[in-house]
């Protein structure tokens, strides 16, 4: 499928919308299942999220997509706009699955989310560049959440907080999101 | 893979078999998990289903597949017979997953099944035609089940009946099935 | 992607590493969830597995991959090294999912794991040759485990032991693993 190319502004807007949908729907799953909780009163909410969460998440996804594009590392697979929808949907499905794992032994939850994350990378774009972005996301995303939890703005449920206050499977979820973000700019813009 | 083409009758028969396998196995999951219950005594059963269910379902799938083929909307991806097996298997896996969600918050179950359904469409054939068939299935399928439940022939478990008596994730499951049905005729017949 | 070909020894070593990672991580899930238990004291353990398990499993995977390659049945899809990673990750994810099904009705667990297994075959290589290897694995793998359980070396949890002492979904899990193993040699070696 040859997508008609978008301008840079349209591409950025489309990625923001995609990231907001995934971030808000995924976070709503975590809040509904009691996986996470927002601790500060009086912060405006969008759906189930404190307003700062979708802003930070969508900004990070856009930055990751744009910086990966600028870095120019070669892709193994060319991805279309439909693939971008599939990639975002798979990451959202994995996000929702993590909301089912509150009573699951850590070994099982980490292996499950980690295996799917590796499969997402190997399917979406098994390139060293995407691996680097995914790995960076797997480190930086949980680190940022650890700071947020330490600041008292949100918390993970007892038993799902074994990684310095955040979920042990969180790096795997960020890995999958980072792998898709790595080629999201080109896929969304169109050839 | 170039499949040897089937006749129209063979294609219809193959689609009926595929739909019966998916419908009966998926429905057996729902009955076994207590997601749904048949309420009328004395109706003959096939496996765990009242006899009218597989007949209605297989007829609907065949009608959707044949009408989509007749409508002639262009496909984005050509699908083979092996893809038809993969598509049917993925829909059946999603069907079985919904039987695991009886105690899951509605937000989580709807986001999970919805995200997988969108991914199925984007993978199988991300075309406007398949989107139209999937959307029609997502509306008409649950409407038909709402009528069946209102007539007292079957029921959804308490807590999984929030959409006028049927499950809130039911439109998402029908969406996935409709997306695959949209190109099932061509995929099953062979090039 | 054109992979640089590996030698036979390198190919075998890479397959052993892949099988060990999947086998040890998957088995750790089963032990952590209480799906399986090792019954003999004093046997050295690797992670959560008695030492004989990963040895037997990795040896079987290597044998299946090598014998399938020697048999020379034609593949429908050529698979790359990245596909091998994806295939192994999908099998591991399915392995982890089975550790979530201890309280699931047998109908649901067998349909779910069976549907995913069929999808894996239809995606990875929908050829008669891969079907034969997958079917052989679905018979021989559970048979070997039935012997191990009968010998008292390990056991499946009550309620997940309905197939002569092993899990009813076990043939489906072996089917998926066998389907991937059937083309693992060529995929790992590279074109």
Whether residues A100 and B104 touch (CB distance < 8 A) is answered with yes
Q: Convert the pLDDT of each residue in C111-130 to its tens digit.
A: 999 999 999 999 999 999 99
Whether residues C96 and A105 touch (CB distance < 8 A) is answered with no
| Token pair 């959409």 in the structure block, residue | B163
Q: What stretches of chain A show up as alpha helix (H) in DSSP? A: 8-33, 52-71, 81-98, 106-124, 128-150, 170-181, 184-189
- Residues from chain B contacting residue A49 (CB–CB below 8 Å): none
Work out the average pLDDT over C149-171.
Answer: 97
For residues C102 and C96, what is the distance between their CA atoms, to the nearest angstrom?
12
How far does the CA of residue C13 sit from the closest CA of chain B (Å)?
A: 31
Q: Which residues of chain A have pLDDT under 70?
A: 1-2, 191
Which of the four pLDDT bands, split at 50, 70 and 90, describes residue B99?
A: very high
| Token pair 């008669």 in the structure block, residue | C128
Work out the average pLDDT over C64-87.
Answer: 95
Whether B118 contacts chain A with CB within 8 A: yes
Q: Convert the pLDDT of each residue in B50-91 to its tens digit.
A: 999 999 999 999 999 999 999 999 999 989 999 999 999 999
Decide if B75 contacts B87 (C-beta within 8 A).
Answer: no
How far does the CA of residue A156 sit from the closest CA of chain C (Å)?
A: 21
Return the H-helix or E-strand segment holding C8: helix C8-33
The pLDDT value given to residue B81 = 95
Q: C159 phi and psi, to 5 degrees? A: 95, -15
CA C148 to chain centre: 16
Token pair listed for A173: 């979820």
Chain C residue closest in CA terms to B22: C115
- Residues from chain C contacting residue A126 (CB–CB below 8 Å): 1, 82, 85-86
Q: pTM (2 decimals)? A: 0.97
The pLDDT value given to residue C2 = 60
Touching subunits for chain A (3+ Cβ pairs under 8 A): B, C
The pLDDT value given to residue B2 = 60
Whether B21 contacts chain C with CB within 8 A: no
How far does the CA of residue A137 sit from the closest CA of chain C (Å)?
A: 20
How far does the CA of residue C35 sit from the closest CA of chain A (Å)?
A: 11
Token pair listed for A25: 């729907």
CA trace torsion A56, A59, A62, A66 (10° rounding): -120
| Token pair 């080109």 in the structure block, residue | A186
Q: Which of C93, C115, C118, C173 to mutate to test the interface with B (most CBs of B within 10 A)?
A: C115
The pLDDT value given to residue C3 = 76
Decide if A153 contacts A39 (C-beta within 8 A).
Answer: yes
CA dihedral sign of residues A183, A187, A190, A191 = positive
Q: Convert the pLDDT of each residue in B107-128 to its tens digit.
A: 999 999 999 999 999 999 999 9
In this structure, the number of other CB atoms found within 10 A of the CB of residue C39 comes to 14
Q: Please state whether beta strands B36-38 and B154-156 pair in parallel, antiparallel, or not at all (unpaired).
A: antiparallel
- Residues from chain A contacting residue C85 (CB–CB below 8 Å): 118-119, 122, 126
User: Is the pLDDT assigned to residue C86 strictly greater than 90?
Assistant: yes
């Amino acid at each position: 499928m040859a997508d008609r190319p978008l301008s840079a502004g349209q591409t950025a807007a489309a990625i923001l919308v995609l990231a907001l949908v995934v971030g808000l729907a995924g976070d709503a799953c975590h809040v509904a299942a009691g996986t996470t909780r927002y601790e500060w009163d009086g912060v405006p909410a969008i759906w189930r999220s404190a307003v700062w969460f979708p802003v930070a998440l969508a900004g990070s996804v856009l930055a990751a997509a744009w910086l990966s594009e600028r870095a120019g590392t070669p892709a193994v697979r060319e991805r279309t706009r439909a693939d971008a929808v599939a990639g975002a949907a798979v990451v959202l499905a994995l996000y929702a699955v993590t909301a089912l794992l509150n009573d699951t032994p850590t070994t099982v939850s980490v292996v499950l989310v980690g295996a799917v994350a590796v499969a997402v990378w190997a399917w979406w774009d098994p390139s060293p560049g995407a691996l680097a972005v995914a790995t960076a996301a797997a480190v930086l995303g949980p680190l940022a959440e650890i700071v947020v939890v330490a600041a008292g703005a949100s918390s993970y449920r007892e038993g799902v907080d074994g990684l310095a206050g955040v979920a042990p499977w969180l790096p795997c979820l960020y890995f999958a999101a980072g792998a898709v973000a790595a080629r999201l700019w080109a896929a969304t813009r169109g050839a």
